[in-house]
């Protein structure tokens, strides 16, 4: 009886190990094909923070006739600071990608355009930096293939990461490690005066992609 139980236990462990190895091989092969697709005919879309909900709340408050002069001034100042900081951070990110990322084509959208992107309703969702201003542009021709399009977006520390990161996700499906999935960056660095730090983070992301591609091409 003991021998039978031992054999059953050993068989279960062996099968479990084989399944784990098979899953690891599948993930590795999937990651390998993903980096090739990204390099050959893919694109990265950087999703910028819009703070749309916070801005909408402040704008709605400012439209209220019940605000006194002091309240209106305070709300307007808060709104102006929020938009200014948002634009400064996003301009730093756009310029850093333009300067430091060349593994594949890169595009920019606001986080509010994610649904339109999924529906292939591109229209005027793409952004560019013109004369130091973030503007919507229709000059971009984007031939989307969800199989080789990846999103990059800023994510604060929490359950998934103990530090702030630029995270990379497939537009369609899930690509797991060993595919490069993030590069660390701290939110305090997202300012004009810390552009070199952002550039360093994007450099590392670009190098991660290149090293993984060269290893698996």
Residue 15 reports pLDDT greater than 50: no
pLDDT category of residue 105 using cuts at 50, 70 and 90: very high
Task: Give me the pLDDT at residue 75, please.
Answer: 92
At residue 191 the predicted structure's pLDDT band, cuts being 50, 70 and 90, is: low
Tens-place pLDDT, residues 59-70: 999 999 898 999
- What are all long-range contacts of 77-80, with beta carbons under 8 Å and residues at least 24 apart? 79/55
Greater confidence (117 vs 21) lies with 117
Is the pLDDT at 115 greater than 90, yes or no?
no
**Residue 150: closest CA among 182, 121, 122:** 182
Share of the chain above pLDDT 70, in %: 84
164 Ramachandran zone, left/alpha/beta (phi>0; psi -120 to 50) = beta
CA contacts within 13 A on the Cβ side of 70: 0
Identify the weakest region by mean pLDDT among 49-53, 89-93, 154-158, 199-203. 154-158
Sequence spans of domains, the chain = 47-216
Contact 211, 114 (CB under 8 A): no
Which candidate, 141, 152, 202, places its Cα nearest to that of 175? 152
* Chain position carrying tokens 């990161």: 165
Question: Using one digit for the tens of pLDDT, what is the confidence trace for 127-180?
Answer: 999 999 999 887 777 776 666 889 998 888 887 888 888 999 988 877 888 999
Average pLDDT over residues 8-12: 49
More confident residue, 16 or 43: 43
pLDDT-based confidence at residue 119 (cuts at 50, 70, 90): confident
């Amino acid at each position: 009886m003991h021998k039978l139980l031992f054999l059953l236990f050993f068989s279960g462990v062996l099968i479990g190990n084989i399944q784990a190895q098979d899953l690891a091989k599948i993930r590795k092969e999937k990651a390998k094909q993903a980096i090739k697709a990204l390099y050959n005919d893919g694109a990265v879309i950087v999703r910028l923070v819009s703070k749309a909900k916070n801005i909408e709340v402040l704008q709605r408050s400012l439209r209220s006739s019940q605000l006194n002069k002091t309240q209106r001034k305070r709300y307007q100042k808060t709104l102006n600071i929020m938009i200014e900081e948002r634009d400064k951070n996003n301009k730093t990110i756009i310029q850093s990608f333009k300067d430091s990322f060349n593994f594949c084509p890169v595009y920019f959208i606001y986080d509010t355009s994610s649904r339109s992107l999924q529906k292939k309703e591109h229209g005027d969702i793409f952004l560019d930096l013109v004369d130091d201003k973030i503007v919507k542009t229709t000059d971009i021709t984007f031939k989307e293939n969800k199989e080789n399009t990846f999103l990059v977006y800023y994510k604060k520390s929490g359950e998934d990461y103990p530090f702030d990161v630029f995270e990379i996700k497939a537009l369609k499906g899930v690509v797991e490690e060993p595919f490069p999935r993030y590069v660390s960056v701290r939110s305090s660095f997202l300012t004009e005066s810390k552009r070199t730090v952002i550039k360093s983070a994007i450099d590392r992301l670009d190098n991660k992609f290149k090293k993984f591609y060269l290893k698996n091409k």
